[in-house]
Chains A and B, each alone.
Chain A
Amino acid sequence: SAVISQKPSRDICQRGTSLTIQCQVDSQVTMMFWYRQQPGQSLTLIATANQGSEATYESGFVIDKFPISRPNLTFSTLTVSNMSPEDSSIYLCSVGTGYNEQFFGPGTRLTVL
């Protein structure tokens, strides 16, 4: 299966600032997704990262707060903008295969002070 990496693995940020998280895959994949996992909670889909077009956001998530880029089939970024302590969470990217399985990156643990 694909090797998925994320940068940074963790960060501590001040409120009001922004953080960009990178997701890199070692092979071309059609589908990439971004999830949020708050402490002790389940995974919630933020958006589907579409190559060459705007991301598709889920209810409750907006582009101004979570802009996403996907310039090619192996790379995507998620930015968490104007952060508040409520944004403290683990952010995970995942990639989808042609057989519908999804595999997750190692996650980025974000703490906002």
Chain B
Amino acid sequence: GENVEQHPSTLSVQEGDSAVIKCTYSDSASNYFPWYKQELGKRPQLIIDIRSNVGEKKDQRIAVTLNKTAKHFSLHITETQPEDSAVYFCAASSTQGGAGSYQLTFGKGTKLSVIP
């Protein structure tokens, strides 16, 4: 099955700086890569995703890049703000049918702290 590794486990940045979180996956059949933000006591919230037919996607201050050859993808947050402080999870899934399709395998999470 799929295995997703996420680094770092914790990340502290000064407000206004950039933050980068990296994930690798093992299953070459995976073609959908979402990122979730989970604030303390809240549900995971989908913030951005990327599919294997594109290499980069951006939404305001957040962007995700995908390198299919190396099987890794990254989340980039620019101009960080205190409200970006949360745990971020990457995930991977395959949509190609068969057993396990559409199921998300999550990384272990990154706790991001933005220091004012």
A interface residues, Cβ below 8 angstroms from B: 31, 33, 41-45, 48, 56, 58-59, 92, 96, 100-107
- Across chains A and B, the number of contacting residue pairs, with CB separation under 8 Å, is 43
Judged by a CB distance under 8 angstroms, whether B108 is at the interface is: yes
Quick check: A42 and B102 within 8 Å, CB to CB? no
Determine if A48 and B103 form an interchain contact, defined as CB atoms under 8 angstroms apart.
yes
| Interface size in chain B (residues, C-beta < 8 A) | 21
Q: Is B46 part of the binding interface, using a Cβ–Cβ cutoff of 8 Å?
A: yes
B44 neighbours in A (Cβ, 8 Å): 43, 92, 104
Would A100 and B106 count as touching, CB distance under 8 A?
no
Contacts of B108 in A (CB 8 A): 41-42
Q: Are B46 and A101 in contact (CB under 8 A)?
A: yes
Also in contact, A107 and B43, with CB within 8 A (given A42-B89, A100-B32, A100-B93):
yes
